Structure formats: C-alpha cells, structure tokens
C-alpha cells in the first residue's frame, strides 16, 4: 500500500484492481483490492487521493476451493480405469480420459473437437451412427456394442451415454463410458 500511495499514484492518475495480501496480527491474512485515483483541488492546490479498499479474501478462498475440486475431479476422471468421454452439443468430443486414450493409442489432440462417432468395423457403423444420432436428437440415454480395431484385431466395446445438462437445465451434450466386452460366443 505504501508503494501504491508513494510511488504509483504520483506517476499515474489512477490505479485499478491493485491486489494486496497482508497478514494482520489479530484477523490473519487478508486479500484486498485497491482502487485509487488522484484528485487535484485547484482552489487550494491540494492533491488528494481517493482510495477504495475491498476485502476479497472469501472470494479468493472460494476460487481456490473450486479450483481444487475441479483438479480433484479431473484427476479422478483421468485416472479411472473405465474409459470416459464427453461430447458437446455440437457432437464433438470435449473430453476423453487417459484410459480412453491409452486403449485407442491416440493423443488427446487427435480426439478433442472431432466427431463423437469413432472409427469402427464397417458392419457396425450404420447401426451405431443411427442409434447415436437418434439418442442425441431425442436427448435419450443409449447403450450399444460395436467393434473397433485394436492392433490387428477387432475388439467389442460396450458404450453407454447419458444426456448432460448445464446447471440451468440446458442440454450440452453427452457423458459416457466404454468398456471392452468379450464377444457373445466367447467362453468365460
């Protein structure tokens, strides 16, 4: 604050959103935003400083809690052994977790922003596209099996998705998961 009043204000006429963190003896650490403006009263040739101080400690604490929770959730989703994906309202992939990327042996940049219907066995593609497009249009959950190429073979996946809505109830796409399943005639 001393720097603000002695050095910054004299050089500029105003300061906006200058953040100060200070530890007070009785109330602890506080985060404050200062806004200041230099005023000159010509009548008496006085130089005044109009200073507004806003305590944003609780706001910063809330931001940190939200950021920590977001990080926790991302790590949980990313480290889940189940393949997880999120498609947006434009039917483009918005998120895939590490298990999804590892299983398909692709990089995140190769997936994000791409069509939510992945490459699959030619015999499955028409049926899967029809199911997924219908589910998307009707905003109804789905469960479907299809084959994708993994190495030299095709593997059977079970993919499930549910409509995703914003806090205000607006449809924003689908959240889903995939798991490899044994072929119907495989012995367990």
Cα gap 4→30, rounded to integer Å: 17
- Answer whether 149's CB lies under 8 Å from 119's CB: yes
Q: Identify the H or E element spanning 134.
A: helix 122-138
pLDDT (tens, 9 = 90+) of the chain, 188 residues, equals 666 666 665 666 778 888 889 899 999 999 999 888 877 777 777 777 788 999 999 999 999 999 999 999 889 999 999 999 999 999 999 999 999 999 988 899 999 999 877 778 999 999 999 999 999 999 999 999 999 988 888 899 999 999 999 999 999 999 999 999 886 665 54
Q: What is the pLDDT of residue 38?
A: 77
DSSP state for residue 143 in the 8-state scheme: E
Prediction pTM value: 0.68
Q: What is the pLDDT of residue 34?
A: 87
Query: In the chain, which ranges are E strands?
Result: 14-24, 28-41, 46-55, 83-88, 93-96, 142-150, 153-165, 171-181
Q: What is the pLDDT of residue 10?
A: 62
Q: What is the pLDDT of residue 188?
A: 47
Q: What is the pLDDT of residue 3?
A: 67
What SS3 state is found at 178?
A: strand
Surface-to-core class of residue 97, CB atoms within 10 Å of its CB (0-12 exposed, 13-18 middle, 19+ buried): buried
Q: By C-alpha distance, which of 7, 14, 11 is closest to 38?
A: 14
Strand ranges across the sheet with 142-150: 93-96, 83-88, 171-181, 153-165, 142-150
What are the residues whose beta carbons fall under 8 Å from the beta carbon of 57, sequence distance 6 or more?
A: 29, 30, 31, 32
What are the residues whose beta carbons fall under 8 Å from the beta carbon of 123, sequence distance 6 or more?
A: 147
């Amino acid at each position: 604050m001393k720097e603000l009043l002695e050095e910054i204000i004299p050089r500029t006429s105003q300061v906006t959103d200058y953040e100060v963190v200070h530890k007070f003896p009785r109330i602890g650490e506080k985060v404050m935003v200062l806004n200041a403006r230099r005023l000159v009263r010509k009548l008496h040739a006085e130089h005044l400083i109009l200073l507004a101080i806003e305590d944003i400690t609780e706001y910063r604490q809330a931001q940190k809690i939200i950021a920590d929770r977001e990080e926790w959730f991302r790590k949980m989703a990313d480290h889940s052994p189940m393949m997880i994906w999120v498609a947006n309202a434009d039917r483009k992939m918005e998120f895939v977790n590490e298990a999804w990327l590892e299983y398909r042996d692709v990089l995140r940049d190769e997936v994000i922003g791409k069509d939510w219907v992945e490459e699959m066995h030619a015999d499955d593609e028409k049926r899967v596209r029809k199911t997924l497009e219908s589910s998307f249009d009707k905003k109804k959950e789905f469960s479907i099996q299809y084959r994708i190429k993994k190495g030299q073979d095709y593997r059977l996946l079970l993919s499930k998705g549910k409509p995703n809505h914003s806090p205000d109830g607006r449809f924003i796409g689908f959240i889903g998961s995939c798991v490899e399943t044994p072929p119907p005639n495989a012995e367990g």
